[in-house]
Structure 1
Amino acid sequence: MNETLTLTRVTAYADVVRERHSVRQYDPNWTISESELKEILAEASLAPSSSNTQSWRFLVFHDKELRKKLHPIANNQQQILDSSAVVAVLGDVEGFRRMGQINDIAVEKGIMPREFADQFTERSIAMYGSLSREKQTHIALVDGGLVSMQLMLAAKSRGYDTVPMGGFNAERLIEEFGIPNNLVPIMLIAVGRAASPGRPTARLPIDEITYWNGQGLNK
């Protein structure tokens, strides 16, 4: 029975990962409830992160009027207006400061001993706090990429479509919406129901992008 359940989950994932495409044309009349968006974001936040700092933050543009303000900042891309919501994924370069809260939750759930949690928190805050702003930003960008991909797969598993957007003015986004300086814009992700299918794309053969045991890297 367990083998059947596992096979079903793997098959479902295989469908989701193959059916996900970047969609730029959305049904402007389709809406997503706040509760659905929360479910998608909650699943996205199960993504891995450096020392489990979970340094991603989500700025959700669910209101249509607010997305009109975002539109010119995002190079006037039509999906900003026609999608059901847009999520700005932000990286918190000071996210490590919440390690105590994260580890307290782990203790409450019985998945981490108190003594270890306190030691882990102290070491983590000291280590991440000693890093340069550049290194802290790099970590936030990597973690932000992980959570963004998981967000898009979570949306697709529910029948919604997405497109990641790097084409936006980060400085204007920060200024217009009062984003504090500890948060770094990573990408925008439109979420909604496709009005037309996303364009299929080709992929390089796996043997051309994979190197086994360090062989062939210099060819």
Structure 2
Amino acid sequence: MSQIDTTANLTAEEVMRARASVRQYKRDVAIPQETLNEILELAAAAPSSWNLQQWRFLVIQKQEQKDLILPIAYGQKQVSDASAVVVVLGDLQAHVTGREIYEAAARDGYVPKDVADNLIKQIEGAYGIEQVARDEANKNAGLAAMQLMLAAKAKGYDTVPMGGFDKAKLVEALNIPPRYIPVMMIPIGEAATPARPSGRLPLSQLVINESF
């Protein structure tokens, strides 16, 4: 039975519990474009600060492109073997999108114009601070990345989040504009071997009630 069949119709809780970081993938497995688009659409439904959707998905499926970035990822084979690699980018200039979003919302009557103008002013003020722009890019791209991995699992595919790559070389190799920063790579595909077991700390070590 294929991996696609065994993960069909999982509940949200089952998807969360089933997701694990897989590092070995079956080569030459193509994800149907419709399915990949559904995964990306679900990922793009993630929440974001001011609804600015500070993520972009750079999708790599051609084998020569995956092989191009293999040395940039320090030879980690999942980059070459997986069906696709999604480079999750963070947008350092999301205030531009904010103006587009809220001007359109005011024009279409979804938001009063004075509210839209105030939100645009807030956003542009915040994005005038370089560290805020960078923090927001990383934080919100991370939300979309997690949702992408859960969406992939719900569709029967495995993933692994990767921060181990040379960001400067990736930017150069893939012609990534300075507006965007690579946050992580996420290979997607069918597992060749299961994920290694990993423990989780108990809630007694993770949860602080009310105050330290």
- Give the TM-score, by structure 1 length: 0.86
1:144 is displaced (CA, Å) by 1.2
Q: Distance in 1 between matches of 2:108 and 2:153?
A: 30
Alignment-derived partner of residue 6 in structure 2: none
> Any unmatched runs of 5+ in structure 2?
1-8
Please say which of residues 97-106 and 39-48 is displaced more in the overlay: 97-106
Q: Distance in 2 between matches of 1:153 and 1:34?
A: 18
Q: Distance in 2 between matches of 1:166 and 1:209?
A: 23
1:64 aligns with 2:63: yes
Q: Any idea what SS the aligned residue of 2:151 has?
A: helix
Alignment-derived partner of residue 126 in structure 2: 128
1:46-57 equivalences under 5 Å are 46-57=45-56
Find the partner of 2:148 among 123, 148, 151: 151
Q: Any idea what SS the aligned residue of 1:165 has?
A: coil
Q: Any idea what SS the aligned residue of 2:88 has?
A: strand
Aligned Cα RMSD in Å? 2.0
Moved segments of 4+, more than 4 Å: 104-110
Change (3 A) 1:156 1:101: same
Alignment-derived partner of residue 168 in structure 1: 165
Q: Distance in 2 between matches of 1:41 and 1:107?
A: 28
Q: Distance in 2 between matches of 1:126 and 1:145?
A: 22
Alignment-derived partner of residue 202 in structure 1: 199
1:49 is displaced (CA, Å) by 1.0
Change (3 A) 1:84 1:107: farther
Task: Give the letter for the 1:152 counterpart.
Answer: M
Q: How many residues align?
A: 204
Seq. identity, %: 40
> Any unmatched runs of 5+ in structure 1?
1-8
Q: Distance in 2 between matches of 1:107 and 1:44?
A: 26
Contact between 2:70 and 2:79, CA under 8 Å: does it hold in 1? yes
Find the partner of 1:191 among 177, 185, 188: 188
1:1-219 equivalences under 5 Å are 12-103=11-102, 106=105, 112-115=110-113, 118-131=116-129, 133-214=130-211, 217=212
